[in-house]
Amino acid sequence: MKSIRRQLLIALLSAIMLTTLLGALVTYRTARAEANALFDYQLRQLALSLRDHALQKGPRHEFGIDEDAQDFSIQIWGPDGTQIYLSHPRQELPHQAPIGFATVNTDRGEWRVFGMQQGSQMIQVAQPMQVRDHLALAAAWRTVAPFLLMLPLLGVLIWIVVGRGLRPLDAVARAVTTRNAVALDPLPENRVPVEVVPLVRALNDLLVRLKRALEAQREFIADAAHELRTPLTALTLQVQLAERADDAVSRADAFAELKGGLQRATHSVQQLLTLARQEPGGGERPLAEVNLAELVAQVIADHLLLAEARQIDLGATPSAGECVVKGEHDALRILVSNLVSNALSYTPPGGTVDLATGQDEGGPFIQVCDSGPGIPLEDRKRVFDRFYRRGQANGPGSGLGLAIVKTIADRHQARVVLDDSRLGGLRARVEFPPAVPP
């Protein structure tokens, strides 16, 4: 498991160390440049100081030089190229380097040399480059050493400071652990750092949605229990009637009533399961392009025998063009099937149910028109409630058809509009949001 504190500690210490090393490199280069300038000045001054003390031509003079005085080496040549002075006899230096400053390579490393002509003599002063490098490196080390020695202390301080900075997250975590299915109060946003506020607001939004889902689930269970109690009680009574039947005719009538009750109970259970699957959290499926005209043709084929049995003209108006939406094919098929089933249930024999698809300035749409009695204006909002059935409704429905339609439409960000139909009954229109251009 990744630790924010550990990651921050490693990142900050690494950044400090990298910055320190870069600073040391810059210090080394700066100190080396300054040392070069200073020592070049000393070489020139030393050569100038020897200008008035040039030696006469003769055998090479050797002087006893302190072994520790290895920073400079001096050579003087006569007019004929004879070396007449050497400060360090055991050091091999270039023979008569060019006049002025030069950096030369020897078996003992690089040397910085300054040469000047004084009359008939050549004066040369040299210094090992490693002296300058050591001086620059020492300056850089003096700059870096305190920071390197302080790294452990910085690590401890960073650990403590980051821990204090993460305390609000611990407080939010403790507050979340106190929430449960019966206590989903929002988390407090006061005294919360600005950086943590988006997390708290996202959690509060999640808690609100979870609370709504749990409330909807509890309401669904309560409504389902209430709705199933009546048909189950009726089935029990019908079984008792069948048991007490004295003759075959009465027993056949009782069993016919029992069969009808079982069919109604089965339909209610199927509708409940369909509604539960379409509720949020009931199982998300990947979205795909759905051709609404093809979908309507499939639904009409599924209900054609039922329409013929009830002597209802079921058909579709040809669409002007291809109408495609992004959605779940099976869910949209259930939506259209429920609209068609409702229309067939309430349309009298000899009536008409007409489906249409299309696209206008508002976006794609599906509409189902029938020649039935329609729905009064005051009831058009309530028919989307679960288990709601109008008093004059005599069909075998469970009051869940339009609730399922509304749930599926909400999942597809569509809206269901109920209006008067040109056929004299109800027009149910599902309007989808317009497609977003790629």
To the nearest 10 degrees (0 to 180), the angle between helices 167-177 and 197-244 is 10
pLDDT, mean of residues 36-43: 83
The identity of residue 73, as a single letter, is S
Write out the H or E segment, with its range, that includes residue 132.
Answer: helix 129-165
Query: Is 350's pLDDT higher than 80?
Result: yes
Distance, CA of 276 to CA of 223 (rounded, Å): 12
Q: Is 365 helix (H, G, I), strand (E, B) or coil?
A: strand
Tell me how far apart the alpha carbons of residues 373 and 159 are, in angstroms, rounded to a whole number: 75
pLDDT of residue 60: 47
* Residue 366 exposed, middle or buried by CB count within 10 Å (0-12, 13-18, 19+): buried
* Amino acid in position 164: R
Q: What is the DSSP letter of 229?
A: H
DSSP strand pairing (313-317 vs 352-360): parallel
Specify the amino acid at residue 115: G
pLDDT in tens, 383-424: 877 666 665 454 555 566 788 788 888 888 888 889 888 888
Q: Please indicate whether residue 349 or residue 259 has the higher confidence score (pLDDT).
A: 349
Q: Treating both helix axes as pointing N-terminal to C-terminal, what angle do 292-309 and 329-346 enclose, rounded to 10 degrees?
A: 30
Kindly report which listed range (157-161, 271-275, 325-329) carries the lowest average pLDDT score.
271-275
Domains assigned to the chain: 4-54+69-155 (no CATH), 197-278 (1.10.287.130), 288-431 (3.30.565.10)
Q: What is the mean pLDDT of the chain?
A: 77
Residue 369 is predicted with a pLDDT of: 92
Is the pLDDT assigned to residue 68 strictly greater than 70? no
How far apart CA 34 and CA 62 sit, in angstroms, is 33
Distance CA 131, CA 114 (A): 16
- pTM, rounded to two decimals: 0.49
Nearest CA-CA partner of 125 in 77, 87, 60, 73:
73
Taking only the tens place, the pLDDT of each residue in 246-275 is 777 777 877 787 777 777 667 666 666 666
Segments in 166-196 forming alpha helices (H): 167-177
The CA–CA distances, whole Å, from 85 to 79, 100, 104, 141, 145 equal 13, 19, 20, 38, 43
Q: Phi, psi (5° rounding) for residue 174?
A: -65, -40
- Token duo for residue 224: 């389902």
Mutual angle of helices 248-278 and 197-244, in 10-degree steps: 170
The per-residue pLDDT for 67 is 45
Neighbours of 263 (CB within 10 A): 11
> Three-state SS for 379?
helix
